[in-house]
Amino acid sequence: AQSVTQLDSHVSVSEGTPVLLRCNYSSSYSPSLFWYVQHPNKGLQLLLKYTSAATLVKGINGFEAEFKKSETSFHLTKPSAHMSDAAEYFCVVTEGAGGFKTIFGAGTRLFVKA
């Protein structure tokens, strides 16, 4: 069965410092993994996706994530935080077999201090 665990409900960083948002998953099949971001009063925007190609995935706005099968992790990173990165981030898993079940993590709210 699928599950997604975002290990931190809140992360606070200073502007210009690295960002790490952690995500662990479990899946019975070959999963597709996504990170979405939601800014206040906006919809969910795709940051990046892993779909069985390269394990290091680069996304928009300088974000990247590495799929580590042995650790069942898909952590999101960015070398240098910007104030505009303050938002809520969701790790999402979909499975290719059956009905494309989609499971969201609980979300991590990122705060960026000046």
Partner 1 sequence: EAGVTQFPSHSVIEKGQTVTLRCDPISGHDNLYWYRRVMGKEIKFLLHFVKESKQDESGMPNNRFLAERTGGTYSTLKVQPAELEDSGVYFCASSQVLVVSSALAHNEQFFGPGTRLTVL
Residues at the contact surface with partner 1, assessed by CB under 8 A: 29-30, 32, 34, 36, 42-46, 49, 51-52, 90, 94, 96-97, 99-107
**Rounded to the nearest whole angstrom, what is the least distance from the CB of residue 42 to partner 1 in the complex?**
6
Cross-strand partners of 109 = 10, 88
Q: Which is nearer to partner 1, 26 or 52 (CB)?
A: 52
**Rounded to the nearest whole angstrom, what is the least distance from the CB of residue 52 to partner 1 in the complex?**
6
- Two tokens, residue 66: 């590495």
- Two tokens, residue 26: 């479990």
**Rounded to the nearest whole angstrom, what is the least distance from the CB of residue 91 to partner 1 in the complex?**
11
- Two tokens, residue 43: 């919809």
Closest CA to 108 of 2, 4, 3: 4
